[in-house]
Structure 1
C-alpha cells in the first residue's frame, strides 16, 4: 500500500499534474500564498514543492517576479521527443528479447481496448492508454532502470490535452497500426524492428506538435 502523502508531496504532485496537462500554461506565475489557499495547505509545503519543481526545471525564479512556469519552446519540444524516441526505442528493442507470454498478452489486450475505443469514438481515452502501452514496454525492456527513465522524461514536458494526436481520427488510426506492428515485432523477438517502429512512432508525435 502506498504511504500517505506529506503535504509537500501533495502540493508537488498536484502542481506537477497541472503543469504537465497544460492546466497551468508556460509563463504563468506561481505565488506561494495563492497556491496554498487554493490547495488548502500552509505556505511552507508549497515552497518546498516549488523548490522541487525548480529542480525538475519546470519552474524558474526571477528577481522581483518569483516562481514562473517555464515556457518550453520548439527546441525543447524537439529535445523532448528525441530523448523519448531513444529511451522508448531502446526499451522496445530490449523488450523483444525479454517479453513473456503473459506480458505480451497484457499488451495485446490493452491494444485491443484502444482499437475498440477508437471504433466507438472514445478518442479522449487513447492518450492515457497509449502512455500505459509505451511504459509497459519500457518496464519489460529495462525493469531495473529504463522504465523509470521513460517516466521521468515524460514527466518533464507538459502536454496540453488538446495537443494529443490521438484526438485526430486519421492520425489515431496510423498510431494504432504502429502499435500493432510493434506487437508483432515483440512477438517474433525482432528487437531491431521493434526499436525502429517505436522511434518513428514517437517522432510522429513531435511532427504533430510542431504542426
Structure 2
C-alpha cells in the first residue's frame, strides 16, 4: 500500500538512512526547532529502532552542521542566525548558478525534455492550486540542472548546501500564489536559456532567482 502525501518516509536500505531521513524531514518542516535537544533513546523509541542507527544518523546531521554536541548537553539542533541565512542563499546562488552555466554547454535533448516536463507539471499544479507540492518540485528542478552541469562535484555539493539549512515548508515562497507564478516564469526563462545554449544568461537568471528567494525568506522570518 502506498503512503499518503503527509506520511513520514519509510525505511529505505538501512535503519540509519531511515533515521537520518526522518530527522531531516522533521528539521526541514520545522517540527524540530533550533535549540531543541535530541535524545538518542527517545528518537530510537519513537522510530522503532535501536540506539546504534540513531547515533549514526546524528553523526551525519553533525557533519551536515545541523546539530552540535555540547558537553553535558548532548546533541542540540543548531539555531542558525540571520547572517547564516544570507550566507546560505549566496552560496546556493553561486553553486546553482555555475551549475546552470555548465549545463547550458552540454545539456542533451533528453535532459532538456525532462526539465520541460517537470516545469509543465509545476505549471499544472499551480493552476490547480496545489501550491504545497511546488516547493519540493522546485528543489528537484534546481538539483536536476546542477546535476547536468556538474555531475562529478556540483550536484553533490548543491545537496549538501541545501541540507545544511533546511527551509521549513511553511516558509516556502511557493505557498504565495503571486510568487509561485513569478517563479514559474523565471523557470521558463531559465529553460529557454539552457535550450539556446546561453550559459551566461542561464547563470545570471539562476543567481538572481536564488537570491530573490533569500530576500523573500529574510523579509518573512
Q: Matches of 2:120 and 2:13 in 1, distance apart?
A: 35
Distance 1:187 1:205 in 2: 24
Aligned length: 209
How many Å separate the matches in 1 of 2:115 and 2:102? 15
The answer to whether the aligner puts 1:180 opposite 2:188 as a matched pair is yes
Indicate conservation of the 8 Å contact 1:11/1:46, yes or no.
Answer: yes
Structure 2 unaligned spans of 5+: 1-11
- Select the residue among 119, 142, 147 that pairs with 2:150: 142
Within 1, Cα distance between the matches of 2:218 and 2:64? 23
What does residue 81 of structure 1 align with? 89
2:17 to 4, 9, 22: 9
Kept in 2, the 8 Å contact 1:20–1:156? The answer is no
Q: Taking structure 1 as the reference length, what is the TM-score of the superposition?
A: 0.94
- Structure 2 residue 61 is matched with structure 1 residue 43: no
Q: Which runs of 5+ in 1 are unaligned?
A: none
Aligned position for 1:53 = 61
* 2:162 aligned partner: 154
Distance 1:129 1:44 in 2: 33
**Structure 1: 4+ residue segments shifted above 6 A:** none
1:98 to 76, 90, 106: 106
Report deviation, 1:190: 0.6
Query: Normalising to structure 2: TM-score of the pair?
Result: 0.90
Counterpart for residue 30 of structure 1 = 38
Deviation at 1:104, TM superposition (A): 0.9
Deviates most, 79-88 or 53-62: 53-62
Q: CA RMSD in A?
A: 1.5
